[in-house]
């Protein structure tokens, strides 16, 4: 592609050279630069790749994009832009011939609920016979393929490359999770969302290399409405009025407690041998009686968001109802096993806030005992494990303390930290360092009517110990325990 064609929509200065040359690809890893591609120098959290420009030139690269002044004496084309990451986003879109324009693109942001809502929307669209792609925390999914990603919202080049693969595979609807970091790091720049969805907001991702304070976090969450044709917002969320009034696109609303375009009411928590979930009614723009195969009020919010979006898309209501009746999201309030005696749930909750929300939700189902199996990640803030110990003491009837990605710490030391807040509050517990053994113990020693929550890892498929990752899945561990102890399915 001609260099000048890659610069579409960008403000730039040609410092030296010509824009008439051709390049085959764009790279931002200096080790991959050569005479066939364009190199973009970027400032990272730890490395500024502008320092590698002499090396890049030695490797034969003839076209370089920078965001700061550099001295280049050799015969290369040098282009200066305001922000290299923004340039990467726009140029990647041009390189892959703007694939997002060939799909209906649905972006979802919010502190919680992005993954679940994305999978609900995907399930409904697929039930309606649509070909769907999903990008988010669980990875990239389309046309029967599943690919892992390093970030909820991948780097812009990877996004655009994936969009092109999806279009070529016949995908017509793209559902993607949009993180605040994704907006801050320009990963979504140049994408126009047909629909921008906002689930909720709470203080999170504040600290070094993330956001300096809550206001910055909120600002980047709000950016979804600056690049959407149509917005959809949860009016029960904190700051909903501020975000709605400041939006740059037309807005549609959903809620449980407030008036909204789509409203859920008459919630009933249902726990049966073969079903754990919620029944509720939807009124407003459409009228539905919904049976949702995921527990809790916050999943009603997620479902209501998905219902509103799919109704706006004109999806048949039978597809909506059938999909939600059977929906399952790996590692997100996932019913891993259920029968007349107990219900076992696997969830990603890995901090005090998420853990408390989960246990409060499960308490609504009036279990005989609420049992929680958990640990806490090593080499992370100790406040997280202290908080989880406190929540376990206050909200669970019994805790089984175990390993969860201990990294370079000892599992026993992490458990001791959890106990330092759990024990003084009178929490009932036992310690089983091995996570598989802990899960097996929880299931084999259940009491009739128990709900067992295995939390922290969700759909992760590894244990991280001393820098080595070995395969481990909570869901697979539950399946093993069910077979080992000959537990009857519902």
Q: Model's pTM, two decimal places?
A: 0.89
Ligand-binding site membership of 182 (annotated): no
Query: Which two tokens mark 183?
Result: 């907006």
CB 289 within 8 A of CB 268: no
Q: Per-residue DSSP letters for 366-404?
A: --S-EEEEE---SSS-HHHHHHHHHHHHHH-SEEEE--S
Whole-angstrom Cα distance, residue 10 to residue 180?
22
Tell me, what DSSP letter sits at residue 324? H
Whole-angstrom Cα distance, residue 39 to residue 91?
11
Q: Supply φ then ψ for residue 480, to 5 degrees.
A: -65, -45
Query: Which two tokens mark 462?
Result: 């590894």
What value, to the nearest 5°, has the Cα angle with vertex 181 and ends 154 and 131?
Answer: 40
- What is the pLDDT, as a whole number, of residue 205? 67
Ligand-binding site membership of 179 (annotated): yes
CB 166 within 8 A of CB 142: yes
99-326 belongs to CATH 3.50.50.60: no
Ligand-binding site membership of 113 (annotated): yes
Q: What is the CA radius of gyration of the chain?
A: 25
- What is the pLDDT, as a whole number, of residue 45? 76
All residue ranges of the chain with pLDDT < 50 are: none
- What is the pLDDT, as a whole number, of residue 400? 98
Tell me, what DSSP letter sits at residue 407? B
Bridge-based pairing state of the strands 342-347 and 145-147: unpaired
Tell me, what DSSP letter sits at residue 294? S
Ligand-binding site membership of 297 (annotated): no
Residue with tokens 């993330």: 210
With a CB cutoff of 8 Å and minimum separation 6, the contacts of 209 are: 45
- What is the pLDDT, as a whole number, of residue 243? 97
Class of 334-484 in CATH: alpha beta
Residue 168, SS3?
A: helix
Domain ranges for the chain = 3-95, 99-326, 334-484
Whole-angstrom Cα distance, residue 129 to residue 125?
7
- What is the pLDDT, as a whole number, of residue 202? 83
Query: Which two tokens mark 416?
Result: 């001791």
- What is the pLDDT, as a whole number, of residue 44? 83
- What is the pLDDT, as a whole number, of residue 490? 58
**pLDDT > 90: what percent of the chain?**
90
- What is the pLDDT, as a whole number, of residue 151? 87
Tell me, what DSSP letter sits at residue 238? T
Q: Which of 111, 47, 312 is nearest to 195 (CA)?
A: 312
Ligand-binding site membership of 490 (annotated): no
The listed CATH number (3.40.50.300, 2.60.40.10, 3.40.1390.10, 3.40.718.10) that belongs to domain 3-95? 3.40.1390.10
> Would the CATH topology of 3-95 be identical to that of 99-326?
no
- What is the pLDDT, as a whole number, of residue 188? 96
Bridge-based pairing state of the strands 288-292 and 275-284: antiparallel
Q: How many CB atoms lie within 10 A of CB 101?
A: 12
Residue 354, SS3?
A: helix
């Amino acid at each position: 592609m001609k260099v000048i064609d890659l610069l579409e929509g960008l403000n730039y200065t040609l410092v030296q050279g010509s824009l008439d040359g051709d390049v085959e690809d764009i790279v931002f890893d200096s080790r991959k630069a050569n005479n066939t591609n364009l190199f973009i120098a970027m400032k990272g959290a730890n490395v500024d790749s502008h320092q590698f420009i002499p090396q890049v030139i030695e490797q034969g690269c003839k076209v370089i994009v920078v965001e700061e002044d550099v001295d280049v004496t050799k015969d290369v084309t040098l282009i200066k832009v305001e922000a290299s990451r923004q340039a990467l986003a726009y140029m990647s879109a041009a390189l892959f011939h703007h694939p997002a324009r060939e799909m209906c693109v649905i972006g979802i942001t919010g502190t919680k609920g992005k993954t679940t809502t994305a999978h609900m929307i995907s399930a409904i669209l697929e039930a309606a016979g649509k070909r769907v792609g999903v990008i988010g925390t669980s990875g990239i999914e389309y046309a029967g393929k599943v690919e892992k990603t390093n970030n909820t919202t991948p780097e812009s080049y990877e996004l655009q490359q994936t969009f092109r693969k999806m279009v070529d595979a016949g995908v017509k609807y793209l559902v993607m999770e949009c993180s605040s970091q994704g907006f801050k790091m320009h990963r979504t720049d140049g994408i126009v969302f047909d629909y921008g969805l906002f689930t909720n907001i709470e203080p999170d991702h504040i600290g070094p290399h993330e956001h300096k304070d809550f206001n910055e976090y909120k600002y980047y969450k709000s950016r979804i409405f600056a690049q959407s044709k149509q917005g959809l917002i949860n009016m029960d969320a904190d700051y909903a009025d501020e975000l709605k009034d400041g939006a740059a696109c037309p807005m549609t609303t959903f809620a449980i407690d407030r008036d909204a375009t789509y409203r859920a009411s008459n919630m009933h928590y249902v726990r049966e041998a073969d079903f754990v979930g919620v029944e509720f009614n939807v009124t407003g723009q459409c009228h539905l009686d919904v049976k949702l195969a995921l527990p809790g009020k916050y999943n009603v919010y997620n479902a209501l968001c998905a219902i509103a979006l799919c109704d706006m898309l004109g999806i048949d209501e039978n597809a909506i109802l059938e999909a939600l009746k059977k929906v399952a999201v790996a590692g997100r309030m996932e019913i891993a096993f259920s029968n007349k005696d107990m219900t076992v749930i696997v969830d990603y909750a890995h901090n005090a806030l998420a853990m408390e929300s989960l246990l409060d939700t499960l308490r609504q189902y009036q279990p005989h005992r609420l049992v929680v199996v958990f640990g806490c990640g090593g080499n992370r803030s100790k406040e997280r494990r202290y908080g989880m110990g406190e929540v376990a003491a206050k909200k669970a009837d019994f805790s089984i303390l175990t390993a969860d990605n201990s990294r370079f710490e000892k599992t026993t030391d992490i458990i001791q930290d959890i106990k330092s807040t759990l024990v003084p509050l009178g929490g009932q517990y036992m310690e089983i360092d091995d996570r598989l053994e802990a899960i097996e113990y929880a299931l084999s020693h259940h009491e009739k009517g128990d709900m067992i929550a295995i939390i922290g890892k969700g759909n992760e498929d590894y244990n991280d110990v001393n820098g080595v990752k070995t395969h481990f899945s909570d869901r697979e561990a539950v399946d093993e325990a069910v077979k080992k102890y000959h537990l009857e399915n519902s």
